[in-house]
Amino acid sequence: MSEYVTQETFDKMKEELQKMKSIDRPAASKAIAEAREKGDLKENAEYDSAKDAQGLLEAKIKQLEGIIATAKIVSTDTIDTSRVRILTKVTITNMATKKSFTYQIVGEKEADLKSGKISSSSPIGMGLIGKQKGEVAEIIAPNGVLKFKVEDISI
């Protein structure tokens, strides 16, 4: 599945991947070599730990390479605000509590609830995608069905 990201996030992911390959990978290899020099590998916890760390690093590299390869870069310049979409900011009102919230719908990599950014693949994000101003989104949550009215859509 493709990850929707902004150009800024895409560039950060590429920088992170480059750092992992050029700095972290050689450091992991060096740690394994140093641990190997300390004797019997069967009883060498430092060696086992270094190998485990290298395995985790390689898994992260592979995962990030996959995300970058399939990422779809979206720009706010081309977004239609007639419906809730990726990168739109949507103001919603909880029909039960009458509280209003404004969220920006983003890809998983950029989601940060404290910053008001929710993932398009989260239950609320999926429930809001495609809705128009004035429509009510019904979102199934563990404590029942939540209803949110779309008050405004902007960039």
From 32, 23, 25, select the one nearest 58 (Cα to Cα).
Answer: 25
Q: Where in the chain is the domain with CATH 3.10.50.30?
A: 78-154
Band of the pLDDT at 104, cuts 50, 70, 90? Answer: very high
Band of the pLDDT at 9, cuts 50, 70, 90? Answer: confident
d(CA 38, CA 94): 61
Report pLDDT for 3.
75
Helix (H) or strand (E) holding 148: strand 144-154
d(CA 98, CA 87): 24
Q: Where in the chain is the domain with CATH 1.10.287.180?
A: 4-73
In degrees, rounded to 5, the angle at the alpha carbon of residue 111 between the alpha carbons of residues 119 and 19 is: 130
d(CA 35, CA 151): 60
Which percentage of the chain shows pLDDT scores above 70?
Answer: 96
| Average pLDDT, integer, range 15-25 | 95
Q: Which fold would CATH assign to domain 78-154?
A: Chitinase A; domain 3 (3.10.50)
Q: Do residues 64 and 120 make contact, with C-beta atoms less than 8 angstroms apart?
A: no
Band of the pLDDT at 92, cuts 50, 70, 90? Answer: very high
Report pLDDT for 42.
67
Residue 93 scores a pLDDT above 90: yes
Which percentage of the chain shows pLDDT scores above 90?
Answer: 50
CB atoms inside a 10 Å sphere around CB 90:
27
Q: Is 77 exposed, middle or buried (0-12, 13-18, 19+ CB in 10 A)?
A: exposed
d(CA 138, CA 9): 30
Give per-residue pLDDT as tens, 33-57.
888 887 766 677 888 888 899 999 9
Note the CATH number of domain 4-73.
1.10.287.180
Helix (H) or strand (E) holding 45: helix 45-70
Report pLDDT for 40.
67
d(CA 126, CA 142): 16
Band of the pLDDT at 8, cuts 50, 70, 90? Answer: confident
